[in-house]
C-alpha cells in the first residue's frame, strides 16, 4: 500500500448554484419548498464522496477477490455551508484500518476548505468549513494491514434535558431514490437497477443511506431551526439496515430542552435503518448575533474600501 493511498491528492472543484439547488430539492421532494436557497448541510458529504471512493479503490487495489463497501457511520461538523460559485478543496486522510470477520473496517477523515465564492485559493492550512469522519467496512478485504485509529470522530454532543418528541412518516419511492442518485452523483447500480440490487443481495433497489440522513436533517431544520439550514453545526448517525422503496420510513425526533441537540432514529417495518442519529443546531439568538457581526464586518469593509478609493482619487488629483 502506497503513501498516496493513505493521503490521496487534494481534489479541487467549483460548486454551482444549480447543483446545490438540485441536491437540496431532491432531498426535499416530498417536503415543502425550502425557505431559503442555501445548500443542504449534507452537501459537504457529496463533495467528499468522490475522493473517498477513489481512496477505497486504492486501498483495495491489491485484494485478490471482490470487495464491497458498507457505509457504517458518518460524522459531519459544519462551520458553515458551501456557497454557490465557491471553489472547494477536499483533502482526505485514512485514519486507520482494523481487520474484522467480514473484511476490514476503515476510518477516513475529509476536510473541506473553500474560497467563500471569492475567487481566492484555499490554502492547505486554511480553516476547513466542514470536516467529516466516515467509517466503512470493506467486505472481503484481507490484504490491508491494520494500522492507526478507527474511532468514529469526536463524541456526539450531550443533550440537555428532553423536549417534546415528534414523529413523521415518509414513503421513499424509486423515483425519489433515482433523483437523489443523479443529484448526488452516487449512481451505484444497487440504487438504480433491480437486477444489480438483487445480485448484491437485496430484494430491490435501496435508498442511499445519506439520503435518509439528509431527509431527517431537513425535517429537523424545518421543525427546530425555523427552516434555516445555516444553523446546522453537526450531524451524525450509524447505518444499520437498508431502506427499500414503497415501505414506510418512520423518522423519530427527540429534541433536548434547549433546542440545541436533536436526536433521531429512522425506522422501517424491519427495524432501525439509521440509529444513534443526532443534529447539533446553533440557537436562534446565537445565529442572530453571528449575523450581526458578519453584517458589521461587511459594512466596515465597505467603508474602508470607500475611504481607500477616496484617498486614491485625492492622490490622483494632487498629481495633476
pLDDT digits (tens, 9 = 90+) for 136-185: 999 999 999 999 988 756 788 999 999 999 999 999 999 999 999 999 99
Q: 191 near 207, Cβ under 8 Å?
A: yes
Which residue did the predictor score with more confidence, 277 or 119? 277
Distance in angstroms (rounded) separating the CA atoms of residues 12 and 113 = 10
3-state class (DSSP) for residue 301: helix
Tell me how far the alpha carbon of residue 7 is from its chain's centroid: 20
Q: 35 near 227, Cβ under 8 Å?
A: yes
Query: How high is the mean pLDDT of the chain?
Result: 88
> Percentage helix, strand, coil, to 5, in the chain?
35, 30, 40
Q: Which residues share a beta bridge with 275?
A: 238
- Cell 457529496 found at: 46
Burial 83-121 (b: 16+ CB within 10 A, else e): bbebbbbbbbebbbbeeeeebbbbbbbbbbbbbeeeeee
Q: 241 near 269, Cβ under 8 Å?
A: no
The DSSP code for 140 is T
Beta strands at 68-78 and 232-239: parallel, antiparallel or unpaired: antiparallel
Beta strands at 68-78 and 261-268: parallel, antiparallel or unpaired: unpaired
CA distances from 219 to 15, 139, 211 (A): 24, 33, 12
Question: Is it the case that residue 109 has pLDDT exceeding 50?
Answer: yes
CA distances from 299 to 120, 292, 294, 306 (A): 21, 10, 9, 10
* pLDDT tens readout for residues 23-81: 999 999 999 999 889 999 999 999 999 999 999 999 999 999 999 999 999 999 999 99
Question: In the prediction, which pLDDT does 160 show?
Answer: 92
3-state class (DSSP) for residue 113: strand
Mean per-residue pLDDT for 68-97? 96
Distance in angstroms (rounded) separating the CA atoms of residues 40 and 24 = 6
Q: 103 near 137, Cβ under 8 Å?
A: yes
Amino acid at each position: 500500500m502506497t503513501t498516496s493511498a493513505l493521503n490521496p491528492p487534494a481534489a479541487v472543484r467549483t460548486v454551482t448554484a444549480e447543483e446545490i439547488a438540485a441536491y437540496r430539492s431532491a432531498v426535499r421532494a416530498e417536503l415543502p419548498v425550502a425557505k431559503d436557497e442555501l445548500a443542504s448541510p449534507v452537501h459537504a458529504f457529496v463533495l467528499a464522496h468522490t475522493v473517498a471512493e477513489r481512496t477505497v479503490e486504492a486501498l483495495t487495489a491489491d485484494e485478490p477477490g471482490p470487495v464491497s463497501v458498507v457505509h457504517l457511520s458518518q460524522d459531519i461538523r459544519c462551520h458553515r455551508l458551501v456557497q454557490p460559485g465557491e471553489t472547494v478543496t477536499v483533502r482526505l486522510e485514512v485514519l486507520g484500518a482494523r481487520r474484522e470477520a467480514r473484511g476490514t473496517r476503515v476510518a477516513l477523515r475529509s476536510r473541506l476548505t473553500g474560497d467563500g465564492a471569492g475567487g481566492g485559493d484555499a490554502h492547505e492550512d486554511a480553516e476547513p468549513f466542514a470536516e467529516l469522519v466516515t467509517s466503512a467496512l470493506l467486505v472481503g478485504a484481507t490484504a490491508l494491514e491494520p494500522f492507526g485509529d478507527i474511532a468514529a470522530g469526536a463524541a456526539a454532543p450531550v443533550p440537555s434535558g428532553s423536549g417534546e418528541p415528534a414523529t413523521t412518516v415518509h414513503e421513499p419511492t424509486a423515483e425519489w431514490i433515482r433523483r437523489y442518485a443523479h443529484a448526488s452523483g452516487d449512481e451505484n447500480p444497487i440504487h438504480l437497477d433491480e437486477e444489480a440490487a438483487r445480485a448484491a443481495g437485496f430484494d430491490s433497489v435501496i435508498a442511499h443511506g445519506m439520503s435518509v440522513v439528509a431527509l431527517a436533517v431537513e425535517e429537523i431544520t424545518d421543525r427546530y431551526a425555523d427552516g434555516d439550514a445555516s444553523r446546522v453545526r453537526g450531524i451524525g448517525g450509524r447505518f444499520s439496515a437498508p431502506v427499500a422503496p414503497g415501505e414506510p420510513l418512520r423518522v423519530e425526533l427527540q429534541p433536548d430542552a434547549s433546542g440545541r441537540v436533536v436526536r433521531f432514529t429512522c425506522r422501517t417495518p424491519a427495524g432501525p435503518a439509521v440509529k444513534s442519529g443526532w443534529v447539533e443546531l446553533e440557537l436562534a439568538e446565537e445565529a442572530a448575533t453571528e449575523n450581526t457581526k458578519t453584517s458589521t464586518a461587511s459594512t466596515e469593509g465597505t467603508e474602508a474600501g470607500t475611504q481607500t478609493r477616496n484617498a486614491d482619487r485625492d492622490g490622483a488629483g494632487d498629481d495633476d
